[in-house]
A and B are shown apart, each in its own frame.
Chain A
Amino acid sequence: MDAKLKQAFTEPLSLNNPILIQVLGICSALAVNAQLEPAIVMGLSVTVITAFSNLIISLIRKTIPNRIRIIIQLVVVAALVTIVSMVLKAFAYDVSVQLSVYVGLIITNCILMGRLEAFAMSNGPLASLLDGIGSGLGYAWILVVVGAVRELFGAGTLLGFQIIPDACYEAGYVNNGMMTMPAMALIIVGCVIWVHRIFTSKN
């Protein structure tokens, strides 16, 4: 793998992360990760959609008339979102109920349009595919981190398994109700950005 492809994949994971650096797609990042499971599913769904929409748009980028490119991009994304939504309903119904409208709203996720416009329209299929996967995973890992913190402190569980022992509850520990509110997700995302800046701003 040559350096450019590698960069297309790794850059969105950290140094050009869609949430941490570009601050895109925040609304869904705050809404769906009160628990870990929907966060993981949401992250994977977005990864699949960014990867394939990037690939498809990149393949047909030379035939797309410039003036109607947004509509074409939207059609591709909408088709992919519909497929993912149907797959979720078929194979992971409970999670798809939890995610409710947010799967459908992936179509409005700024990360998708941002990557299509900024990358897929001007790069080859393989690089675009890698960039799509990278961006999706860059989005997903933030969701997973925030979801894990919120579920652990908000409900004392991870993926539904109880982590904090009963002895703690008997000693007076109480789950933090604030963690289940979107306001706390905003603060945790802020903390992740904070820590990330500490490590990256030195370079």
Chain B
Amino acid sequence: MLQQIFDKLRPSFEEGGKLHAFRSVFEGFETFALVPSETSRSGVSIHDAIDSKRIMSFVVIALLPALLFGMYNIGYQNAAAAGALATTGCWEMFLYGFCVMLPKIVVSYFVGLGIEFAVAQWKKEEINEGYLVTGLLIPMILPVGTPLWMMAVAVAFSVVFAKEVFGGTGMNIFNPALVARAFLFFAYPTKMSGDNVWLSKDTWFGLGHVVPDTQTMATPLGEAAAGRMADISFADMLVGLMPGSVGETSVYAILIGAVILLVTGIASWKTMLSVFVGGGLVAWLFNMGGMDNAVAQIPWYEHLALGGFCFGAVFMATDPVTSARTECGKYVYGFLIGALAITIRVLNPGYPEGMMLAILFMNMFAPLIDWCVVQGNINKRAKRMEK
């Protein structure tokens, strides 16, 4: 049925049709809804049954548990701050969070896809599907208190400067979602960290509670950076009903996403595992080191559950475009991400969350790691030839 609709619409989008200006938009929607039947016209190519648009859809599905939990958590934090935890129903909290998140997701997609469509039309290319995932990731890795216009600016910045200037999806060096977050982090630090951005304070369509402006709430990592130990148990950290960026708080929800990514073979277990090994090992070393620093004293397993560590390890570090591509390289890449993230957290109290900077940093080194692995292989084989 879908096929018929697209077939009927096609003529008006072809060369000379009245809607030709929107050709790339049409093609984008068509190939998103249906697997394209076009095959390459020259040479021999083997196509997987799953093309990149299908892969992106799987990642979006994997993100859903964390997103839904994040919505619930927004409502929960709002109710908790208003002191109305007992009187607010479960669904009311979720609906409130849904109403808060929906505009963010819509704006993110609208701005990002708008730029992508415009560029695709201008360059007469197909629409890149990469933004499908990025557009959902960006609202999920931001604090709930970040204003919409800031997010729109960051989305525009990252799509243009982290993606399109490098040549679009698949060519980018840095993860666009993290570039958007880094941009906000450095451009508008007051709206991205501190104690005042983790709460949604207004009511939406009569849902939720108005919280006074003076009410603040710190993330466990933020409190530790300020020298206080957070009074939250490890089990609570896993469930994730605590302040934090929308998608990152619940380890369980992220675990479901990780299973989906691993079963479908989209993300590499090597990268994922080595991020946790690297982070755990370095955090354990800091525990042993006995530094006079509240963040260093957080037990290593809690380090892995706090902040954006899990989210970054599962959804960001494994991004097939920006991570290392050689199999050995993935271990090195992941290990260094985990190690750097914990190191930044502990040694620089100005950046309570090190995951973003660690992943961006290692994105830059991924090609170098790959080069070393490939060269090592070449040398090994050259030696074998000599024998």
**Using an 8 Å CB-CB cutoff, how does the interface string of B187-225 with A read, 1 for contact, 0 for none?**
111110000000000000000000000000000000000
Smallest Cβ-Cβ distance to A183: which chain B residue: B186
**B residues in contact with A92, CB < 8 Å:** none
Among A3-11, A50-58, A70-78, A174-182, the stretch in contact with B: A174-182
Among A43-90, those with CB < 8 Å from B are none
Smallest Cβ-Cβ distance to A171: which chain B residue: B149
Tell me how far the C-beta of A155 lies from the nearest C-beta in chain B, rounded to whole angstroms: 13
**Using an 8 Å CB-CB cutoff, how does the interface string of A167-203 with B read, 1 for contact, 0 for none?**
0000010101111010100010000000000000000
For the complex, is B150 an interface residue (Cβ under 8 Å from A)? yes
- A172, A174, A177, A187: the one contacting B186 at CB < 8 Å is A177
**B residues in contact with A179, CB < 8 Å:** 187
Determine if B189 and A177 form an interchain contact, defined as CB atoms under 8 angstroms apart. yes
For the complex, is B371 an interface residue (Cβ under 8 Å from A)? no
Determine if A174 and B190 form an interchain contact, defined as CB atoms under 8 angstroms apart. yes
**A residues in contact with B190, CB < 8 Å:** 174
Tell me how far the C-beta of B155 lies from the nearest C-beta in chain A, rounded to whole angstroms: 15
Determine if A176 and B188 form an interchain contact, defined as CB atoms under 8 angstroms apart. yes
How far is it, in angstroms, between the C-alpha of A59 and the C-alpha of B293 when the chains are bound? Answer: 66
For the complex, is B161 an interface residue (Cβ under 8 Å from A)? yes
Tell me how far the C-beta of B321 lies from the nearest C-beta in chain A, rounded to whole angstroms: 21
**Using an 8 Å CB-CB cutoff, how does the interface string of B164-192 with A read, 1 for contact, 0 for none?**
00000000000000000001001111110
For the complex, is B147 an interface residue (Cβ under 8 Å from A)? yes
**Using an 8 Å CB-CB cutoff, how does the interface string of B101-139 with A read, 1 for contact, 0 for none?**
000000000000000000000000000000000000000
Tell me how far the C-beta of B37 lies from the nearest C-beta in chain A, rounded to whole angstroms: 37
Smallest Cβ-Cβ distance to A181: which chain B residue: B186
**B residues in contact with A172, CB < 8 Å:** 147, 149
How far is it, in angstroms, between the C-alpha of A176 and the C-alpha of B192 when the chains are bound? Answer: 12
**B residues in contact with A187, CB < 8 Å:** 161
Determine if B147 and A178 form an interchain contact, defined as CB atoms under 8 angstroms apart. no
**B residues in contact with A178, CB < 8 Å:** 183, 186-187
Tell me how far the C-beta of B123 lies from the nearest C-beta in chain A, rounded to whole angstroms: 14
**B residues in contact with A177, CB < 8 Å:** 186-189
**A residues in contact with B188, CB < 8 Å:** 174, 176-177
**What class of interface size applies to chain A in its complex with B?**
under 10
Q: Name B's interface SS.
A: helix
**A residues in contact with B153, CB < 8 Å:** 176
**A residues in contact with B187, CB < 8 Å:** 176-179
Most B Cβ at <10 Å: residue of A172, A174, A179: A174
How far is it, in angstroms, between the C-alpha of A177 and the C-alpha of B147 when the chains are bound? Answer: 16
**Using an 8 Å CB-CB cutoff, how does the interface string of B318-342 with A read, 1 for contact, 0 for none?**
0000000000000000000000000
Determine if B161 and A174 form an interchain contact, defined as CB atoms under 8 angstroms apart. no
How far is it, in angstroms, between the C-alpha of A181 and the C-alpha of B189 when the chains are bound? Answer: 13
How far is it, in angstroms, between the C-alpha of A178 and the C-alpha of B179 when the chains are bound? Answer: 13
**A residues in contact with B183, CB < 8 Å:** 178
**B residues in contact with A183, CB < 8 Å:** 186
How far is it, in angstroms, between the C-alpha of A138 and the C-alpha of B183 when the chains are bound? Answer: 30
**A residues in contact with B161, CB < 8 Å:** 187
How far is it, in angstroms, between the C-alpha of A178 and the C-alpha of B190 when the chains are bound? Answer: 12
How far is it, in angstroms, between the C-alpha of A51 and the C-alpha of B69 when the chains are bound? Answer: 65
Smallest Cβ-Cβ distance to B182: which chain A residue: A178
Smallest Cβ-Cβ distance to B147: which chain A residue: A172
Tell me how far the C-beta of A92 lies from the nearest C-beta in chain B, rounded to whole angstroms: 30
Smallest Cβ-Cβ distance to B183: which chain A residue: A178
**B residues in contact with A174, CB < 8 Å:** 150, 188, 190-191
**A residues in contact with B186, CB < 8 Å:** 177-178, 181, 183
**Using an 8 Å CB-CB cutoff, how does the interface string of B289-301 with A read, 1 for contact, 0 for none?**
0000000000000
How far is it, in angstroms, between the C-alpha of A107 and the C-alpha of B189 when the chains are bound? Answer: 37
How far is it, in angstroms, between the C-alpha of A178 and the C-alpha of B187 when the chains are bound? Answer: 4
Among B64-88, those with CB < 8 Å from A are none
How far is it, in angstroms, between the C-alpha of A178 and the C-alpha of B185 when the chains are bound? Answer: 9
How far is it, in angstroms, between the C-alpha of A187 and the C-alpha of B187 when the chains are bound? Answer: 14
How far is it, in angstroms, between the C-alpha of A174 and the C-alpha of B186 when the chains are bound? Answer: 12
Smallest Cβ-Cβ distance to B149: which chain A residue: A172
How far is it, in angstroms, between the C-alpha of A40 and the C-alpha of B117 when the chains are bound? Answer: 39
Among A83-108, those with CB < 8 Å from B are none
Tell me how far the C-beta of B294 lies from the nearest C-beta in chain A, rounded to whole angstroms: 27
How far is it, in angstroms, between the C-alpha of A181 and the C-alpha of B186 when the chains are bound? Answer: 9
Residues of A within 8 A of B (CB): 172, 174, 176-179, 181, 183, 187
Closest 6 A-B residue pairs measured CB to CB? A178-B187, A176-B187, A178-B186, A177-B187, A174-B188, A172-B147
Q: A174-B191, A176-B187, A181-B186 are in contact. List 11 more A-B contacts (CB 8 A).
A: A172-B147, A172-B149, A174-B150, A174-B188, A174-B190, A176-B188, A177-B189, A178-B187, A179-B187, A183-B186, A187-B161
20 of the cross-chain contacts (CB-CB < 8 Å) are A172-B147, A172-B149, A174-B150, A174-B188, A174-B190, A174-B191, A176-B153, A176-B187, A176-B188, A177-B186, A177-B187, A177-B188, A177-B189, A178-B183, A178-B186, A178-B187, A179-B187, A181-B186, A183-B186, A187-B161
